Structure 1
Amino acid sequence: MTQVTVWNEYRHERDSDVVAEVYPDGIHAVIADALESGGFDTRTATLDEPEHGLTEEVLDDTDVLTWWGHAAHDEVRDAIVDRVHERVLDGMGLLVLHSGHYSKIFTRLMGTSCSLKWRESAETERLWVVEPGHPIADGLDEYIEIDEAEMYGERFDVPAPDTLVFNSWFEGGEVFRSGCCYRRGNGRIFYFRPGHETYPVYHNDTVQQVLRNAVRWAAPGDGPTPEFGNSEPIEEIDLSDDRTVH
């Protein structure tokens, strides 16, 4: 069974009555329940736990990590970012959600600022499926409509995605690349835009379906483990060339 760790700052839900009304047990609890209902083995981890809940043991037992952060990106310890980064390169899947675009782990993996335009106006968002054959789009209609959303607008300062699954249109006129797939090392990364803390986006059945599809896509497969460094030949060849400087 795929093991998923759902990570969340868990600050807004404790500091804001508005957010607590939408997510009384935390955003992570809603996401974890949605993934568990899809057959995944889930656990949660939050910022204020020892080692942010992301101990070596937890990460070694994690196939896919989901990441939601907003107000406290700078409080995530660099040593933990190093640990997550290494695990992604080794093959752990990573789902970066909404304002996690500014997280230390996502900006490191992208190598860019990951900046964008934004506006909080509870406006309609329409996410168009622009790659209907992708596994993350399985079972979806042509678009997902979210009644109340925070606007994110282009330019989104990220590398061009390997695959773009969703492109958003907002009521105010902006567009945004909202479902971006990447590969870094052996790990698969999916950035999914919806999910502002004051709106019930993660209670949306279709959004939950996307999260489940994304976990299936990002989970490590059973392919061969690549080997690096000096290598012995597979076929018999002459190894007497002594011109190397290594």
Structure 2
Amino acid sequence: MTVRITVWNENIHEQENKEVAERYPKGIHGAIADGLIDNDLTVRTATLQEPDHGLTEDTLGNTDVLIWWSHCANDEVADEVAERVVKHVHDGMGFIPLHSGKNSKPFIRLMGTTCNIKYRHSGETERIWVADPGHPITDGLPESFEVPSTEMYGEPYDIPEPDRTVFISWFEGGEVFRSGVCYRRGRGRIFAFRPGHEEYPIFFQDEIRTVIANAVDWAAPTDGADAIWDEVKPAEPLDDE
């Protein structure tokens, strides 16, 4: 089965910051999409500036996995679009928020918490440790790998207890962070992945691209069983009393 992916990006930094535009000439969404070239995938991109932010009912209805990058414009996403995304996750669409996508309206609604963190802009090294080596998102990765320069995210991280914690990060300044966590909401699978600050070429790094590609495979919907949510007749005869 061909997995249909939509890569969404707010596409603000690339337009307002020359250095980000030079680092990501196709936009952050373009760099992520380029890392997903595969015969079994179809990839489209969408941005905040498009009608309905590029996330129409038709687009989401034809998306198996939605990858979401955002940072400075989380509040600019229309509530109607955010609720549309949440509905499709409940119906089975995979959702992969990257970096500050943890503060996106869809992720906060799906978590039911603030998703707040501590952070620091200092360009320090991050070592990402595989905490769950049996998880398919870790396929092809070493025990740990480094992101040479990045923004620090630190605990506490105000999220519900994850179903699985796949990665834990350590930062040069001493903090740690649950940098790759999995959830189920309704039929949908969610994988929140920390790396991806726009000031650094993180989405060109081989290990990061491997994680995202593996996460797409894991988050893609499966057929499962039929579900009936409305009033139903009894499966077995009931007494008339």
TM-score of Structure 1 vs Structure 2, range by shorter chain: over 0.9
1:29-68 superposed matches below 5 A: 29-37=30-38, 39-68=40-69
Aligned to 2:138: 137
1: CA distance between counterparts of 2:90 and 2:45?
22
Quote the offset at 1:38 in angstroms.
6.7
Aligned residue pairs total: 240
Quote the offset at 1:2 in angstroms.
0.3
1: CA distance between counterparts of 2:239 and 2:74?
52
Aligned to 1:244: none
Change (3 A) 1:16 1:34: same
Aligned to 2:77: 76
1: CA distance between counterparts of 2:18 and 2:40?
32
Max Rg structure: 1
2: CA distance between counterparts of 1:92 and 1:20?
30
Quote the offset at 1:199 in angstroms.
0.3
Quote the offset at 1:22 in angstroms.
1.0
Quote the offset at 1:124 in angstroms.
0.5
Aligned to 1:9: 10
**Equivalent position SS for 1:127:** strand
- The answer to whether the 8 A contact 1:179-1:193 is kept is yes
Amino acid at match of 2:210: Q
Quote the offset at 1:36 in angstroms.
2.2
**Gap runs ≥5 in structure 2:** none
Quote the offset at 1:239 in angstroms.
4.4
- The answer to whether the 8 A contact 1:38-1:212 is kept is no
Amino acid at match of 2:238: D
Aligned to 1:150: 151
**Gap runs ≥5 in structure 1:** 242-246
1:123-134 superposed matches below 5 A: 123-134=124-135
Aligned to 1:97: 98
Aligned to 2:240: 240
**Equivalent position SS for 2:228:** coil
2: CA distance between counterparts of 1:182 and 1:141?
23
Aligned to 2:213: 212
TM (norm. structure 1) is 0.95
TM (norm. structure 2) is 0.97
**Equivalent position SS for 2:19:** helix
Amino acid at match of 1:28: H
CA RMSD of aligned residues (A): 1.1
Measured against aligned partners, the alpha-carbon deviations of 1:35-59 in whole angstroms (never above 9, x if no partner) come to: 1247410000000001100011100
Measured against aligned partners, the alpha-carbon deviations of 1:189-219 in whole angstroms (never above 9, x if no partner) come to: 0000000001010000110010000000000
Percent identity over the alignment is: 57
**Equivalent position SS for 2:36:** helix
**Equivalent position SS for 2:215:** helix
